[in-house]
Chain A
Amino acid sequence: MNATRDKTHMEFVENWAKKFRESPAECKKIQNEFINALFEKNANFLKRLAAQPGGPEKIIRLYRIKNVKAYEELLGIENP
């Protein structure tokens, strides 16, 4: 990150915090959409990745999954 980005981003953080303090319910709706979208995007991506050759192994490495049994459906492992 360069200094200009740091400065302008901190300004965004400050302005958002002030807005949240003034109108938490309104801001919470915006925040919920943002956060839910991140997780929906992630879930859709993992489904596509799991269907690729070598995809399940990448997911295991990505999240350092040791208890593979708990994620069999996500990884597309059938009848282990």
Chain B
Amino acid sequence: MNREVSDMNILDSFCEKFCNVVKKHMDYVVVSGFVAIASGRIRGTEDIDMIIPKISREKFIKLHEELVENGFQCMQSDNPEEIHDLYLKEKTSVRYTYKNRPVPEMEVAFSKDILDGYQIKTKTKLPITGLDIWFSSINMNIAFKEEYLKSGKDLEDARHLRIVFSDMVDEKEIEAIKEMIRKLRL
């Protein structure tokens, strides 16, 4: 990807560094607010949301150890077995940050239903972001923000995505995802 490091802000470099470790171990997908921010939405956020497949404790320990080697710390615990068993396995997300810096943070959660699985399956790269990372699809993000999250900020994010990616917006797919959300989450 043709890009200068100076083209990246603090959130971009944090996210790409984190994803570069995770991708060596498993699939992942970055979802929600950061998709809009990486796509030019001018607002702040403290956290980036990531979904990973449900993995074994052993596999998670290897991931955690490499994250720590790369300067990341988990805010909940430094014990990977505890992070896996007491948080992720129990459907509670955990937050990773750089050591001694509480923000930005990567909020990591296991995939919890077929909707999350679909997000991972339909992951996409978005060249306009300048980032070489996997995002959940534009249609998925619009559907979640309009049907599930619905705050003022989320509706503005959806509007931003609809304009920036107007050529990728597929109303039929958005409606199908909204239907899945209504069945599984509401």
Contact = CB atoms under 8 A, between A and B. Distances in A.
B10 A35 contact: yes
A10 B102 contact: no
* Max chain A Cβ within 10 angstroms of own Cβ: one of B74, B77, B156: B156
Nearest to B103: A42
A65 B103 CA distance: 12
Nearest to B7: A28
A6 B37 CA distance: 19
B7 A14 contact: no
Nearest to B157: A13
B159 A17 contact: yes
B56 interface: no
Contact of B40 (A28, A36, A63, A69): A28
A31 B156 CA distance: 16
A6 B78 contact: no
Interface in B98-155: 99-104, 128, 130, 152
Given A28-B40, A59-B102, A67 B78 contact: yes
A39 B104 contact: yes
Task: Please classify how large the interface on chain A is, using the bins under 10, 10 to 19, 20 to 34, 35 or more.
Answer: 35 or more
A6 B159 CA distance: 13
Given A10-B159, A36-B9, A38-B44, A71 B77 contact: no
Contacts, number: 99
* Max chain B Cβ within 10 angstroms of own Cβ: one of A17, A28, A38, A65: A17
Contacts of A34: 42, 44
Nearest to A25: B7
Interface of A: 1, 6, 9-10, 13-14, 16-18, 20-21, 24-25, 27-28, 30-32, 34-36, 38-39, 42-43, 46, 59, 62-67, 69-74
Given A17-B41, A32-B8, 15 more contacts: A25-B7, A30-B42, A31-B9, A35-B9, A66-B76, A67-B73, A67-B75, A67-B78, A70-B74, A70-B75, A71-B73, A71-B100, A73-B99, A73-B100, A74-B102
Lowest 6 A-B CB distances belong to which pairs?
A20-B40, A70-B73, A17-B163, A32-B9, A35-B9, A63-B102
